[in-house]
Amino acid sequence: MIDADFFKDFGRKTIITGHYGSGKTEFAVSLAMLTAEIEKNQNIALIDLDVVNPYFRSREKRDMLEKAGISVYGSLFTEEITAELPALGATVRAPLEDKNSRVIVDLGGNDTGALIINQFAKYFQDSDTITVAVVNANRPDTQTVENTLEHIKSIEKITELKVTGIVNNTHLLSETTVADIIKGHKLCSDLCKTTNRKLMCSCYPKGLIDPKDLNEIPEPLMPLGLYLRPSWLM
């Protein structure tokens, strides 16, 4: 059960990265929506910095997010026809400079995509920032502790940010099973024990998996809303 205590481990500024297919953007949107639902009086901003070869874009859900009270920042362009253009608006800095805002940053999933955050580096040098990596143990490049750590280190090297949090988001789209999530939890737990990182949560697709079936995984368990995935991919 997600409650206000869940957000204490996240910084005022949460940077989210993850390999292609990890569900990084789905996690970012779901985290923003949960924050808006539970921390009702909090100013919440989602910054979409995933502008290099994005497959799913959090900014595509601007209307839904803004209706939930979440401000969306990122691309200079807001129309679908220009959504692919990697141009950032000047307003991106506004929530980073507002100490009363909780900020969620959806960052590119590989070292090339993550490079863009360096132009905002001065905003992420304080203790209010946490960088988390979303891990899908069913993806070829993150099936072992060694491969996952190699990916994380590539992000850390290019951004000079330390990934201190790990999110287990192991899935196979609509074919996700309880066994998948348990497998991912073991991988992420082993990674955290080996590298002294924190396992922030394990995710499950809301409506597809009953959290009661995940009783061998310790809390917190976070539901993913599946906001971004079109029905033809389910």
3-state secondary structure of 193: helix
Task: Judge whether 130 and 107 are in contact, CB under 8 Å.
Answer: no
**Across 5-14, 89-98, 146-155, least confident range:** 89-98
C-alpha distance from residue 53 to each of 30, 72, 88 (Å) = 21, 19, 14
Share of the chain above pLDDT 70, in %: 84
Is the pLDDT at 200 greater than 70? The verdict is: yes
43-77 tens-digit pLDDT: 999 999 876 555 455 667 788 999 999 999 876 44
- Which range has highest mean pLDDT (9-23, 54-68, 220-234)? 9-23
Is the pLDDT at 193 greater than 90? The verdict is: yes
Is the pLDDT at 135 greater than 90? The verdict is: yes
The reported pLDDT for the residue numbered 24 is 92
- All structural domains of the chain: 4-233 (3.40.50.300)
Task: Judge whether 134 and 27 are in contact, CB under 8 Å.
Answer: yes
Q: How far from the centroid of its chain's Cα atoms is residue 64's Cα? A: 18
More confident residue, 86 or 188: 188
- 21's torsion region: left (phi>0), alpha (psi -120 to 50) or beta? left
Q: Please give the radius of gyration of the chain, using alpha carbons only, rounded to the nearest integer.
A: 16
The reported pLDDT for the residue numbered 103 is 96
Task: Judge whether 75 and 83 are in contact, CB under 8 Å.
Answer: yes
The reported pLDDT for the residue numbered 136 is 97
Q: 81 pLDDT band (50/70/90 cuts)? A: very low
Round to whole Å and give the CA distance between 109 and 16.
Answer: 9
The reported pLDDT for the residue numbered 59 is 61
CA atoms within 13 A on the CB side of 134: 31
Is the pLDDT at 234 greater than 60? The verdict is: no
Round to whole Å and give the CA distance between 132 and 162.
Answer: 9
Q: Find all residues with CB under 8 Å of 92, minimum gap 6, and list them.
A: 47, 49, 73, 74, 120
More confident residue, 86 or 194: 194
Average pLDDT of the chain is: 87
State the DSSP H helix or E strand holding residue 234, giving kind and residue range, or none if neither: none
The sign one gets for the Cα dihedral 142, 146, 150, 155 is positive
